Amino acid sequence: MTLHSRNMIEKLISFDTTSRLSNLALIDFVEDYLAGHGIAAKRIYNDDQTKANLFATIGPEVEGGVVLSGHTDVVPVDDQDWSSDPFIVDEREGKLFGRGTADMKSFVAIALAYVPEMVKADLKRPIHLALSYDEEVGCIGVGSMIKHMSAHLPRPRAVIVGEPTSMRVINAHKGIRSFMTEVTGLEAHSSQQQLGVNAIVVATKLITFLTDVFEEMKARGDPSGRFEPPHTTVQIGTIHGGTAINIIPHHCSFGWEYRSLPSQDVDEIYHRFLAFSAELDAEMKQTSPGCGIVTRQRALAPGLQVEEGSEAETLALALAEQNETFAVSYGTEAGLFQQAEMSTVICGPGDIAQAHKPDEFVELSQIAACERFVGKLIEVLK
């Protein structure tokens, strides 16, 4: 079965691959589609086999190929006010609306739609397709696929991660680390505060510490001037705690993250937070040894470091017909590929400003630009 880009986009959008759900129905479809063109694919499952990465090679098993990488999961549509069904593509005013049209199923769909052309071209250097799961919840899935690629794949020339960049070539982005911190205090009557440990008060001290660190990061700034905002950011996203107004709260938890400049030590803020937490933890235990602070990492995605003139950058600029690279503040799987010593850039259709929002869309002009990009890549590798 050969589907052109529009039909393939519609097909991929129709799979509800919200990160809390399985992506296997989509993986089944893609694997069958590739098999129909004589291409074998490799699945790399998660631990409970409810999700999978998919890796496939079109062309010879030799060095110098190009990896086209994309994630298959999308963010939730819960409580969002959509004008149309988010899992049915709706075309309006030169745009395709649907969850994942920008972030980032359109790139994956175009790569798949061009598989028949790749096969027909009898490539001298391969094109590798690398589809991952759980990018949206912290780039969790791609690591096992990268390990497989490092162990079994002849060294590729470049990795192109097709996140929405408006088809601009991105050679740097911030890293992201996210955490959940849980504070356990000691309950008591609110009139007897000397007998208890207020978990919410301790949590607010930790949050104030992070807020002060954020202000420090603003002052330190980014000497390159390429990022917006031009500094490392710190964010507290969720907080839960307490039972009743007249009970000293036993528990408080909060979720937080920071997005660090690629030039910054990715561990700095975390280690400083742990040191401050240890001081508060010791104070709490003076009242009750059952009190304490526990911080668990939820996600880690390294920044993408600038590699001026790298093979991936040179190739992507030529394919996109551009002569300038850019940096972005959001995180992607690109830094993980780079850590595995694969030359990597980001370039894909759609605008990140439309991602994660109701009525997410990609412009048809972006689809056409990405089609030209992939078509030129096939010509380069023939």
- Going by C-alpha positions, the residue among 69, 100, 96, 99 that lies closest to residue 162 is 69
Structure tokens at 139: 């780039």
CATH number of the domain encompassing residue 100: 3.40.630.10
- Residue 3: per-residue pLDDT: 62
Q: Are residues 59 and 189 in the same domain?
A: no
Could you give the number of structural domains in the chain?
A: 2
Domain containing 287 equals 175-301
- Going by C-alpha positions, the residue among 309, 35, 277 that lies closest to residue 180 is 277
Q: Are residues 244 and 293 in the same domain?
A: yes
Q: Are residues 10 and 107 in the same domain?
A: yes
- Going by C-alpha positions, the residue among 73, 75, 70, 74 that lies closest to residue 56 is 70
Q: Are residues 317 and 289 in the same domain?
A: no
Within 8 A by CB and 6+ apart from 348, the residues are 70, 104, 106, 107, 161, 162, 163, 164, 165, 167, 370
- Going by C-alpha positions, the residue among 197, 268, 262 that lies closest to residue 227 is 262
Q: Which amino acid does the sequence have at 201?
A: V
Q: Are residues 194 and 164 in the same domain?
A: no
- Residue 2: per-residue pLDDT: 46
Among residues 301, 321, 353, the one where a domain terminates is: 301
CA 19 to chain centre: 11
Q: Are residues 154 and 231 in the same domain?
A: no
**How far is the C-alpha of 57 from the C-alpha of 212, rounded, in Å?**
49
Q: What is the pLDDT of residues 28-38, one digit of tens each?
A: 999 999 999 99
Band (pLDDT 50/70/90 cuts) for residue 187 is very high
Does pLDDT of 1 surpass 80?
no
DSSP string, 155-181: PPSEEEE---STT-EEEEE-EEEEEEE
The string over 319-356, giving b where at least 16 C-beta atoms fall within 10 Å of a residue's C-beta and e elsewhere, is bbeeeebbbbbbbbbbbbbbeeebbbbbbbbbbbebbb
Q: Are residues 225 and 330 in the same domain?
A: no
Q: Are residues 319 and 259 in the same domain?
A: no
**pTM for the model:** 0.90
Which residue reads 């207020």 in tokens?
198
Q: What is the pLDDT of residues 47-106, one digit of tens each?
A: 999 999 999 999 999 999 999 999 999 999 999 999 999 999 999 999 999 999 999 999
Q: Where are the alpha helices (DSSP H) in the chain?
A: 5-14, 24-35, 105-113, 115-120, 142-152, 199-220, 268-287, 311-320, 334-339, 364-381
Does pLDDT of 261 surpass 80?
yes
**How far is the C-alpha of 352 from the C-alpha of 356, rounded, in Å?**
9
- Catalytic residue numbers read 73, 135
Q: Are residues 192 and 168 in the same domain?
A: no
**How far is the C-alpha of 27 from the C-alpha of 33, rounded, in Å?**
10
Average pLDDT, the chain: 96
CATH number of the domain encompassing residue 260: 3.30.70.360
- Residue 345: per-residue pLDDT: 98
Among residues 242, 266, 301, the one where a domain terminates is: 301
Which residue reads 């950058």 in tokens?
313
Q: Are residues 253 and 373 in the same domain?
A: no
**How far is the C-alpha of 17 from the C-alpha of 21, rounded, in Å?**
6
Q: Are residues 114 and 179 in the same domain?
A: no
What is the 8-class DSSP label of residue 32?
Answer: H
Percent of the chain with pLDDT over 70: 99
